[in-house]
Homo-oligomer: A and B are copies of this chain.
Amino acid sequence: MTQEHNVTHAAGTALPSSSPMVRQTNLSLVLRHLRDHASQSRADIAETTGLHRATVSNLVSELLDRQLVREIGTEHVGAIGRPRRPLALHGAHVGALGLEINVDYISVHGSDLSGRVLVERRVGFDTIAAGPDRALRMLSQMALDAVEAMKRAEAVPAGLGVALPGLVDVARGVVTFAPNLGWRDLPLAARLSAALSPWSVPVSVDNDANLAAVAEHTSGVAAGTSHLVYLTGEVGVGGGIFVDGKLLRGADGFAGEVGHLPVDPGGALCGCGRYGCWETKVGLAALVRMAMPDQVYQPADLPVSDPEERATEIARGLAAGDPQMMDAVAQVGRWLGLGGSILANLFNPRVIVVGGYFATLAEWLLPHAQAELERLVVARSANHCRFIASDLGFGAASRGAASMVVNRLIDHPTMIMDPLPRLSPI
């Protein structure tokens, strides 16, 4: 199964090959194939895509001209004696820029079309204290700095994606509600575009967990898994869900909201005003409260506490065998497994990849979570769903934002082809 395969119909046999729709569709098919598979010959591409060999050769020639693909390795000779030069995605001159703005940091990740990392940076930033205006200035400054860095690597960003923790109207680029940032109804894409002027680039905005899930699906420990759930464990708990190789968005783009699943109607008050949300059981605050009860962990100090530092501190305690911490992590692990069983019952994913502090504490947390998942899931014998720790670190969302830009360019390759001058005049 290829990922993000959103061609929706067969182009038929009678359309002229010059049809712009067919050209875009077929160029995209070839690029997608090279994104999803290691070195492939033209014949491999023809076989898998169902395109005629002559068509593939023409498309590849065009993509080679534009340096969006390249020939790699040495020629090898196929069974019928024809040279089969392996191809790979290239586009070193096409940049994709991802930003993440979160409670206490902004991070940036720039890559070229093939996913080669060109720039990565993270700075501490108190987003709530700054407010939207200063946050926007900081975001645009970091974006422009990254553009300069990418230009030095001879790549021009062709798209910019922003990740943040909250509900996002993806079609309009508006942050509907981001409680942890204190933002509501903020037209982030439009405001950031204005701030970047005169530099003009398509700006998209998406939920951080969705984009981290994209990063996992593209280049994480379970990359390419068609049915994959990603959970981010920080102060809040976010989710991004892949179904049949596609990110699940739902009717309004708000699918995958896992943090406030009601898992214990008699439970504690959540920051959202409801009781017994999953976040009150498995969010970092819940763990800290149990593992380090002498440390006051008030909601008021959440924005400035560094989740990574807290997680590292607890990891040290666990490594030393601290019994209170061991007990706390067991309790949180069981609640993680209970919520995981809800996801497993509903989505039947192959894996649940966990990031954030869940990954930092994976060796202590996941055995409890896995046991509880297996105890609670209905299709017990048949459902081999496994918790796995992410290895992408806290930069998954900005990496995913860049991957999403790459995916969009690959879906609409003429966006990065037609503005270029034709190499051979007709």
* List of B residues within 8 angstroms of A250 by Cβ: 227, 243, 347-349
Interface assignment of A182: CB less than 8 Å from any CB of chain B: no
| CB interface residues, A 16-35, toward B, < 8 Å | 16-17, 19, 21-22, 25-26, 29
| Whole-angstrom CA separation of A17 from B52 in the bound complex | 12
Stretch in A67-75, A88-96, A258-266, A325-333 touching the partner: A258-266
Stretch in A4-12, A126-134, A136-144, A282-290 touching the partner: A4-12
Q: How far does the Cβ of A56 sit from chain B's closest Cβ, in whole Å?
A: 9
User: Which residue of B10, B342, B381 contacts A261 across the interface (Cβ within 8 Å)?
Assistant: B342
| CB interface residues, A 386-416, toward B, < 8 Å | none
| Whole-angstrom CA separation of A226 from B253 in the bound complex | 13
Most buried by B among A22, A274, A383: A383
Interface assignment of A376: CB less than 8 Å from any CB of chain B: yes
Interface assignment of A338: CB less than 8 Å from any CB of chain B: yes
The answer to whether B346 touches A258, judged by C-beta atoms less than 8 angstroms apart, is yes
Interface assignment of A420: CB less than 8 Å from any CB of chain B: no
The DSSP consensus for interface residues of chain A is: loop
* List of B residues within 8 angstroms of A385 by Cβ: 251
Interface assignment of A379: CB less than 8 Å from any CB of chain B: yes
Interface assignment of A211: CB less than 8 Å from any CB of chain B: no
| Whole-angstrom CA separation of A239 from B379 in the bound complex | 14
The answer to whether A249 touches B348, judged by C-beta atoms less than 8 angstroms apart, is yes
User: Which residue of B7, B50, B252, B262 contacts A342 across the interface (Cβ within 8 Å)?
Assistant: B262
| Whole-angstrom CA separation of A22 from B348 in the bound complex | 33
* List of B residues within 8 angstroms of A15 by Cβ: 13, 50-52
| Whole-angstrom CA separation of A189 from B16 in the bound complex | 45
Interface size range of chain A in the complex: 35 or more
| Whole-angstrom CA separation of A402 from B263 in the bound complex | 37
The answer to whether B261 touches A264, judged by C-beta atoms less than 8 angstroms apart, is no
| Whole-angstrom CA separation of A375 from B265 in the bound complex | 13
Interface assignment of A14: CB less than 8 Å from any CB of chain B: yes
Most buried by B among A12, A51, A243, A253: A12
Interface assignment of A191: CB less than 8 Å from any CB of chain B: no
| Whole-angstrom CA separation of A370 from B276 in the bound complex | 20
| Whole-angstrom CA separation of A394 from B67 in the bound complex | 60
| Whole-angstrom CA separation of A18 from B228 in the bound complex | 39
The answer to whether B13 touches A376, judged by C-beta atoms less than 8 angstroms apart, is no
User: Which residue of B49, B345, B348 contacts A9 across the interface (Cβ within 8 Å)?
Assistant: B49
The answer to whether A347 touches B14, judged by C-beta atoms less than 8 angstroms apart, is no
The answer to whether A255 touches B347, judged by C-beta atoms less than 8 angstroms apart, is yes
Interface assignment of A248: CB less than 8 Å from any CB of chain B: yes
Most buried by B among A177, A257, A341: A257
| Whole-angstrom CA separation of A168 from B251 in the bound complex | 28
User: Which residue of B14, B16, B49 contacts A51 across the interface (Cβ within 8 Å)?
Assistant: B14
**Chain B residue at minimum C-beta to C-beta distance from A184:** B381
* List of B residues within 8 angstroms of A381 by Cβ: 176-177
| Whole-angstrom CA separation of A347 from B22 in the bound complex | 33
The answer to whether A12 touches B348, judged by C-beta atoms less than 8 angstroms apart, is no
List chain A positions with a Cβ less than 8 A from chain B.
5, 7-17, 19, 21-22, 25-26, 29, 49-52, 54-55, 167, 169, 176-177, 226-227, 239, 241, 243-244, 246, 248-266, 272, 274, 338, 341-343, 345-350, 375-376, 378-379, 381-385
